[in-house]
Amino acid sequence: MGQRQIRPRPLGFAFLPFTCEITEFVQPGTQASLVIGVDSTRSGLGDKHAGWLEPVRLFAEPASYISRFHISTDLDSQYRDATMKVWLRMDFHGAADAHVKLSLKDTEGRPVALSPSVVELTAATPETITDVPVDNPLKWDAEHPRLYTLKVSVIGGDGAVLETLSRRFGFVKIERAGRRVLINGREVKPRGGGWYGGGYSVQEMVDNNMNHTRAKSAYEELLDDCDQLGIYALDEDPVDFAKNRRQ
């Protein structure tokens, strides 16, 4: 195949993930090479750092697919019952609507009844946030990193499953009361330091009685390890580096 360039919108700083649609540049059954170039010009928001920080993945999607899948949780005033907020978006190419089935499993892999358990998306309304109540789930904190698994499946008109995605998460509520940090209503003292891409692992943080890290270039695998092993992670905002720019 001849070389063709795709130029995504400039990001300014490589902390931000992005995707590129390359369907028109590849043909089924033929070999394609994906080459990534990095412009290391040190200006604007990229003045402090330059380079490629995130892993690269190449994957195929159905014609109509889930383009956003995000989960957040909230607890009631007694920190007992929870609300699971499921943010979904479908990119439609041909199909007019989609039935997305939700299925939740607890920390032991046992199914949890949900209502609603189906989200309806259409080409006219492709994106929605659905509130799903969950009675008294096990709570997540650094000492008890209990993770649930939510699976979302796109069901076709004939009942066939067209796409399935899953995500592990914890039921947790983080609040600030003055100078205090509250996790599920209890004050927590953060103990830890910055993570800058090497030198020690999340397991070593736990082994050294740390419960917190401020992460630079916090890629998904690092955040997943923090969820599973019990570390409060503060993902660094790349816009912070705007103050260091030089024209």
Q: What is the pLDDT of residues 12-70, one digit of tens each?
A: 444 666 778 888 888 888 887 777 777 666 665 555 555 666 677 788 888 889 999 99
CATH of the domain at 122: 2.60.40.10
Reported pTM: 0.82
- Rounded distance, CA 124 to CA 121, Å? 8
* Ordered alpha helix ranges (H), the chain: 202-207, 220-229
* Number of domains present in the structure of the chain: 3
- Report the pLDDT value the prediction gives residue 212, as an integer from 0 to 100: 92
* Pair (116, 101) in one structural domain: yes
- Per DSSP (E only), the strands in 189-243 are 192-195, 212-215, 232-235
Tokens of 154: 């796109």
Task: Write the pLDDT tens digit of every residue in 169-213.
Answer: 999 999 999 999 999 999 999 998 777 656 678 999 999 999 999
The DSSP bridge partners found for residue 104 are: 112, 150
Alpha helices, H only, 39-136 = none
Tell whether 98 and 53 lie within a shared domain: no
Please say whether the beta carbons of 212 and 18 come within 8 A.
no
Rounded mean pLDDT, 126-139: 97
Domain that holds residue 76: 65-169
